[in-house]
Every structure is written in structure tokens, then in C-alpha cells.
Amino acid sequence: MDLGKITETTLELSCPEAARLFIEQGMSMKMEEITLAPFEVNWIIGNEDDRFYDFLMELRDNITHQIESLSAIDGNALNRIYTIAFDMHHEILRDNLKDARDLLHGFAIGDMADGSTDYMFYPMEIMDKVIAYNICPQITDFNHKDLRKIIKYYFKCFDKLTDVEARTFYSSNYEIMSQEISDLEEKYKSYYIYYLYEMLMSAYEDYHILRVIMLGNMYLQIYRVLDMVAWLMAREQGVKYDTASQAALLSNLERRMRHNLSITDGIMERIRREFLSERE
């Protein structure tokens, strides 16, 4: 991504090898500053709003550092990140960048202050629709067939549950899963940090930080749930949900979920109609 002042380059988790390294190393993403000869980039942002550029850089550093210090990135943390993004978005649209920065300086995510074990941000029925109508269509046996199997098992586990029952089902199984897979919560925190490093500066193009956060919250929720579903499916089959299997899910999900513009736009439209419209 060419931002004018700098060009940011990252590994893509849609790449199986990058996904494997991510799963095996279990480390949060860091940017390293280096000097290279000019090279061709795929994404060029032509904005020259230095004030907003500096604000986005500060926002990304602030949020990622706070996430790193959390014991878990639960639904409460995601809701606080959404709330600050929502408030900042409206200040930015009014060109009140000073007020947006004041909000940032007073922002604290906190760490599961109420002792909740609810890891979800979106209502489960909205996530059901995203998976069923945005991600799943046109997946064939020759196109992410393993992801199709996991999604089919997801509906076997969750299809007849209410929102409360589905959240409880996830939380109870997550506790067992976390005992079998070490540093599970660090993986989800690292994934969200990776996403913010990759995508938050894209708001430099259209000033829409709320869109970035809304999509990121959905991607994380889907990843968490399908990761647990893949683990449950492996247990039923009597096989180990090893790092190779975890990396394969992440790589396939990233290719299908994030690296397809029509799917991304469809997910955001569903969020706008079925989530934002209820909150505004």
C-alpha cells in the first residue's frame, strides 16, 4: 500500500506459507522500517491530508498496543473499539479532527472488566447470514472444499440455537479448546492486530475508519467460531487439530472472506442494513 510518504508491505495470510508461519510463531505483527529502491505496488492512495495521515498512524499504534496488553479480545473489547470508531467517524465526517484526536487520547479498551466470557460482538444470526449468503455461495468441491465442510459442520452445531444458546455453546467449548491448544487467545489477538496493520491505513483513502472496524470485528468473529468448529469436527473424527490444519483454515478463510471485493462489499452491506441501522 503506497501512502505517499511511505509504502507498507505485509505478508498475506491468504498465502498458505504465511498462514503457517503465523500459526507456528504466534507473534503479533510488527512493522520494520527499511529503505529500498522504488518498486511497483498494487494499491496507491493519492490522499495528501497530512493531518489525517498522522491521526490514522496514531490511532493504529494506540489500538494495537492496547490490544496486546489484553488478556483476551472479547466481545466487550470489540464493542469499545467499535464505539470509539463510531464516535470518531462522525467527528471526521464533520472535519473535526481535533475532537477525534481528543476522543482517542481519552480512549481505553479495558480488560474484561465485568468478567464476561462472551467473545462475540455481532448477533449470531447476522453472522449466520454472512456465512450462509455471503461466504458460502459458489464454493464448490474444487474451490475451498475443506472450508465448505467446516461451514457445513458449523450449521450442524449452531443452526437450531438461539443467540444466547449459541454464545454459551461457543464459550463452553472454547474453554475446553483452550486447554488443548496453547496460546489460543494470543492467536486471535494477533490476527486482529494483523488486520489493523493491514487495513486501518486504507481509511486514508475514504476517511471511513468505521467500515474498517466493522469488517474487522466480523472477520475476527467468523475466524474464532469456524476455528472452534474445525476443532470440534477433528475431535469427532478422532484426529488432532494440528498447526497444519489451523493454518489451512486461516488461509482458505482469508482468501474467501477478505480477498474478494464482491464478498467484502456484500458483508459490509449486510452489516449496514442489519446491524448499523438498528444502532443508529
Residue 34 is placed in which grid cell?
Answer: 527499511
Residue 85 forms part of a structural domain: no
Residue 38 forms part of a structural domain: yes
* Pairwise CA distance, residues 130 & 134, whole Å: 5
Domain residue limits at 187: 16-48+119-279
- Domains identified in the chain, total number: 1
Predicted pLDDT of residue 41:
64
Predicted pLDDT of residue 262:
87
* Pairwise CA distance, residues 69 & 61, whole Å: 13
Residue 137 forms part of a structural domain: yes
State pLDDT tens for residues 103-125. Answer: 999 998 876 555 566 899 999 99
Question: Where is average pLDDT lowest: 22-31, 35-44, 55-64, 232-241?
Answer: 35-44
- Amino acid 149 reads K
Residue 86 forms part of a structural domain: no
CB atoms within 10 A of CB 212: 22
Residue 176 forms part of a structural domain: yes
Full-model pTM: 0.90
Q: Do residues 276 and 214 lie in contact, with contact meaning Cβ atoms separated by under 8 Å?
A: yes
* Pairwise CA distance, residues 250 & 64, whole Å: 21
- The mean pLDDT of 246-263, rounded to a whole number, is 90
Residue 167 forms part of a structural domain: yes
Residue 189 is placed in which grid cell?
Answer: 489477538
State pLDDT tens for residues 122-161. Answer: 999 999 999 999 888 666 544 678 898 999 999 999 988 9
Residue 101 forms part of a structural domain: no
Per-residue burial over 67-105, b if 16 or more Cβ lie within 10 Å, else e, is beebebbbbbbbebbbebbbbbbebbeeeebeebbebbe
- The mean pLDDT of 173-200, rounded to a whole number, is 93
Residue 245 forms part of a structural domain: yes
